[in-house]
Amino acid sequence: MVAAVRRAAEELLEEVGYEGLILTEVATRAHVNKTTVYRRWPTKVDLVTDLFLSLTAEQDIGRDTGSLVGDLTALIHDIVGNVSNPAARAVLSVVIGGVLDEEARAARAAFWAERFSRGAAIVDRAVARGELPADTDARLLLEDACSPAYFRLLISGETLTDADVELFARRAAGRAQGLPDQGLQ
């Protein structure tokens, strides 16, 4: 039942976007009673947040490649992969800021807190390897590495090359290590 509802919500988001998403339509498409949907997901924000978390739950955000730059590069490649999925892109637009009511803000905050918590493993490993100082702010480093990718993919609509992804990772790692940006281009 949960998988059918998520699949139906994903299809509808691709077809009609967040604004057009109606929980009763999700229930109809999933071939479940609407009370079944409303019991688990009282609002469409709840459903959309759950859908995005399920789409990204399998991701190993803290993949260990053996180096800080490698880990950050892998993380940014995962972002590019997520954003290329039409349903994930629709959901992400809600998570990023498409909806501004109180419930959506709380869901958005929970989503990002979970992402940054999982991504902190990258920084923890880099500290253990001696690549970063122990007082490195994990969230700040992750924001520094990932923000250019989100900007290009979701705001300006530009594509990213492998060279772009590596550049973003190297620049963020270099700044966290206290290195000047020169030579990182």
Can you list the alpha helix ranges (DSSP code H) found in 34-184? 34-40, 44-57, 68-84, 86-93, 102-128, 138-150, 162-176
CA–CA gap between residue 109 and residue 125 (Å, rounded): 25
**For 146, how many CA atoms within 13 A lie in the half-sphere containing its CB?**
23
CB-CB contact of 14 with 86 (8 Å):
yes
For 139-153, write each residue's pLDDT tens digit. 999 999 999 998 998
For 128-142, write each residue's pLDDT tens digit. 999 999 999 999 999
For the chain, list the domains and their CATH numbers. 44-176 (1.10.357.10)
Answer yes or no: is pLDDT of 184 > 70. no
For 64-113, write each residue's pLDDT tens digit. 899 999 999 999 998 888 787 777 777 676 666 555 567 667 767 777 78
The tokens for 151 are 């900007």
- pTM of this prediction? 0.78
